[in-house]
Amino acid sequence: MLKRGILFQGLPKMEGGGGRDITYLFLYGLSRNVLCRAKIRDMKREWREYLLEKADRSAYQSTAFWKMLKKEEKKCARIVLGLVEDLRNCDDGRAEKAWICLRYLIRSGYRQEEAYLRERKEIVFSALWELAGEETGDLLLRSSRICMCLIMAEEDHREIRTDRKRFLFEDSIKKTEDLWNNEKKTERSGSLGERKKELLYIIMPFRFWMNKVSAGGAGIGKKQTKVLT
């Protein structure tokens, strides 16, 4: 069982100390993944209802986040949130059951990423960033795929060599935190389309920076860092 890791402590900051909370990105990735939603639909009804009740008592109730999901995606995200709450806050039995289910969802929905991590002797963060892909134009999905890779690498005791793209990834997490935690903007802008417009304004500087870095070429660091926290 994963006892202390990214899902507990968040993503460690490059400069050390504290951590970035990836819970919302984690929920976003699994709820938007077609294969994960299919697996969640196959869960027993009683367990789904229990997890939905757990989610209702969770502290993760950002209006901005939940309004970005469609009806089925929202329900799936709430079920996953219930699993996360059990993993973090319940006794060993329920926590272990929650982790087994979460692990199953991650590896079922992200098979390409799992195969990539398994086949490489050395993993560079910039390679993960490229694997996550930019062709979709959805920075949230791209960042959530990175989170899934980090969780799988952590469980498998794989090392990730950090480079410049790690800074870009952390910047994207910071921008999504700003988006989902800004409740005043949420009250003024309620529709999904309006929320996506706000997201576009937030990530545009990030994409401009990313293009400049790509043109610059070399990474800034070669030190190997364990993903395990």
DSSP 21: -
The arithmetic mean of pLDDT across residues 35-54, rounded, is: 96
Structure tokens at 124: 């560079």
Nearest CA to 149 among 135, 133, 137, 138? 133
Contact (CB, 8 A) for 125 and 161: yes
Q: Describe the chain by its helix, strand, coil percentages, rounded to 5.
A: 70, 5, 25
Query: In which residue are the tokens 């990474």 written?
Result: 219
Contact (CB, 8 A) for 186 and 64: yes
Per-residue pLDDT, 208: 35
d(CA 227, CA 124): 11
Residue predicted with more confidence, 9 or 167: 167
The arithmetic mean of pLDDT across residues 123-128, rounded, is: 90
One-letter amino acid at 103 equals: R
Query: In which residue are the tokens 């202390």 written?
Result: 4
Radius of gyration of the chain (CA): 17
Give 134-163 pLDDT, tens digit per residue: 555 678 888 899 999 999 998 998 888 888
123: part of which helix (H) or strand (E)?
A: strand 123-124
Residue 100 has pLDDT above 50, yes or no: yes
d(CA 101, CA 135): 30
Contact (CB, 8 A) for 151 and 84: no
Query: In which residue are the tokens 């009683």 written?
Result: 46
Q: What's the mean per-residue pLDDT of the chain?
A: 77
Which residues have CB under 8 Å from 134's CB, separation 6+?
A: 142
For the chain, the domains span: 6-226
Highest mean pLDDT among 17-26, 82-91, 156-165, 192-201: 82-91
Residue 4 has pLDDT above 90, yes or no: no
How far is CA 43 from each of CA 1, 51, 79, 83, 188, rounded to the nearest angstrom?
21, 11, 10, 12, 37
Per-residue pLDDT, 116: 93
